[in-house]
Amino acid sequence: MIRRLLATAAVVLSGCASGSDQPVSTASPAAEPASSQLEFALVPIAYDLGLPDWTPPPLEPASNRLNAAKVELGRRLFYDVRLSADKSKSCASCHKQELAFTDGLPVSPGVTGQFTPRNSMSLANVAYTPVLTWANPLLHSLEQQALVPLVGQEPVEMGMAGLDEELVTRLKAEPIYRDLFPKAFPDMGGEISLATVVRALSAFQRTIISVNSPYDRYRYGGDVDAISESAIRGEALFFSEKFECHHCHNNFNMSDNVIHARAPHPEIAFHNTGLYNIDGKGAYPAHNTGVAELTGRPEDMGRFKAPSLRNVAVTAPYMHDGSIATLDDVLDHYAAGGRTIPDGPNKGIGRDNPLKSSFVPGFEMSAEERADIIAFLRSFTDEDFLKDPKFSDPWQEGSTP
Ligand code: HEC
Ligand code: HEC
């Protein structure tokens, strides 16, 4: 299914991999022709994102440069239910600003009621992510990724497969779009098409940046009072060899997947943290095997992307399948060196998972240490970001889609 989608992406986005700029995408373990056609030449974003000096400039495809009209158009499209078959869902249905662009559900229903196998991900700082979604080493660009919810069929999310013409008809009927597409895409003759829709959505998403949490102000902004004493102790624990968190959550997004102008060679990694061990040999539930689903390699079983921990206090429930409800429970999982599920179909002792990362050995943790790590995680909540009008629903009464 993913393969078919990437082939569609190659057609919809053909022309993207233009120019002689050096593409910086890495070869992926399961590289195939469809994905290699989609390597994007990346360049630093020149559009003014209003970032503080310490923040590294994100990259964008040379073939889809940001401009103000494109960002505004992408924002409108992101909040537009006309992008779903029955006009019931927009991207924002599963990516809500006040929840750092997650949806608060373990897994999310699409237009047919079918659930996504995985938990909706935060879009904060997604411009810095060189590999998208929980466990797909082939998805390198937002332009490709947007096609998954729009036209993906397993699961159906927005249900637009085969409805390209219907989509264009719907969008052409909107005066705001008739104005914005030409301004956004002078290079593409103002075309209203699936290709320009995914480009505009991607442009908007590249502006969804969160860099003003109390921890940012403390660590990078020089404001020594921005976080509590408890959070400062939590930071030391997080970066200690006893707790090991920093091995996988280590860049300024607390992840180990990153790409930007100062680090143009993408860092990409996937890990097994011992969430499951169904058969004693490391098996994860059949519909959620991680990177193994695409590569077919047994050693990739249970390997997922370490998500950014920005705004993590508001992005519950946690993990690729939303199977952990609270940050306290996440700490229990790591302290145990892998989760034990005592009964039911997923019964198993994650601690004994033979495929688990050696950085999840388990540890003893005092009540104070637990509180400190949680205070540290809470210091990543960027309240301005969660309310910033730049990212909110632009459709006003009277022009609602
Ligand atoms: C039905 C719910 C739903 C809808 C609608 C939806 N998404 Fe998502 N989104 C998800 C889920 C679930 C994931 C994780 C997918 C996975 O790992 O397989 C995700 C992942 C993503 C990611 C990857 C983020 C990362 O850090 O890797 C991006 C980007 C994204 N969605 C953008 C969009 C855009 C753009 C739209 C609208 C065109 C959209 N989503 C519509 C549920 C949804
Ligand atoms: C071996 C790499 C690794 C280490 C070490 C690690 N993590 Fe993670 N972390 C991950 C991965 C991978 C996931 C997603 C796992 C999944 O869904 O199966 C994750 C998920 C999380 C989540 C859930 C985020 C979300 O949005 O769902 C939190 C919170 C978290 N880790 C905190 C920590 C803390 C605190 C520590 C140290 C005690 C730690 N991690 C150590 C790799 C790691």
Provide Rg for the chain, Cα atoms. Answer: 21
| Å from CA of 4 to ligand 2 middle | 30
Whose tokens are 């919809």? That residue is: 12
- 202 close to 75: Cβ distance less than 8 angstroms: no
Q: Look at the alpha carbons of 132, 138, 142, 147 in this order and tell me if their dihedral is positive or negative.
A: negative
User: Which ligand has an atom closest to residue 112 CA?
Assistant: 1
* pLDDT per residue rounded down to tens, the chain (401 residues): 555 565 556 556 654 333 233 333 333 333 333 333 345 699 999 999 999 999 999 999 999 999 999 999 999 999 999 999 999 999 999 999 999 999 999 999 999 999 999 999 999 999 999 999 999 999 999 999 999 999 999 999 999 999 999 999 999 999 999 999 999 999 999 999 999 999 999 999 999 999 999 999 999 999 999 999 999 999 999 999 999 999 999 999 999 999 999 999 999 999 999 999 999 999 999 999 999 999 999 999 999 999 999 999 999 999 999 999 999 999 999 999 999 999 999 999 999 999 999 999 999 999 999 999 999 999 999 999 999 999 999 997 556 67
- CB of 201 within 6 A of ligand 1: the answer is yes
- 160 close to 288: Cβ distance less than 8 angstroms: no
Contacts of 340 (CB under 8 A, 6+ apart): 348, 349, 350, 351
The total of other beta-carbon atoms located within 10 Å of residue 318's CB is 20
> Helix or strand or coil: residue 141?
coil
Q: What domains are there in the chain, each with its CATH number?
A: 2-209+387-391 (1.10.760.10), 214-384 (1.10.760.10)
User: Which ligand has an atom closest to residue 330 CA?
Assistant: 2
| Å from CA of 120 to ligand 1 middle | 6
Could you check whether the bond before residue 155 is cis, i.e. omega within 30 degrees of 0?
yes
Tell me the best of 133, 249, 278 to mutate to test the pocket of ligand 2, counting ligand atoms within 8 Å of each CB and taking the most: 249
Query: H helices within 249-356, ranges in order?
Result: 292-295, 327-335
Q: Atom 13 of ligand 1 has which residue's CA nearest to it?
A: 120
Q: Atom 42 of ligand 2 has which residue's CA nearest to it?
A: 306
Q: Atom 40 of ligand 2 has which residue's CA nearest to it?
A: 245
pLDDT score for 396: 74
| Å from CA of 100 to ligand 2 middle | 18
Strand-pairing partners, residue 115, are: 109
Residue 155 CA, closest ligand 1 atom number: 1
Strand-pairing partners, residue 138, are: none
Query: What Cα–Cα distance (Å) separates residue 89 from each residue in 143, 170, 264, 374, 382?
Result: 19, 15, 35, 34, 26
- CB of 295 within 6 A of ligand 1: the answer is no
Distance, in Å, from the CA atom of 34 to the CA atom of 258, rounded to the nearest integer, reads 23
Strand-pairing partners, residue 348, are: 341
User: Which ligand has an atom closest to residue 134 CA?
Assistant: 1
> Helix or strand or coil: residue 153?
strand
Distance, in Å, from the CA atom of 183 to the CA atom of 187, rounded to the nearest integer, reads 9
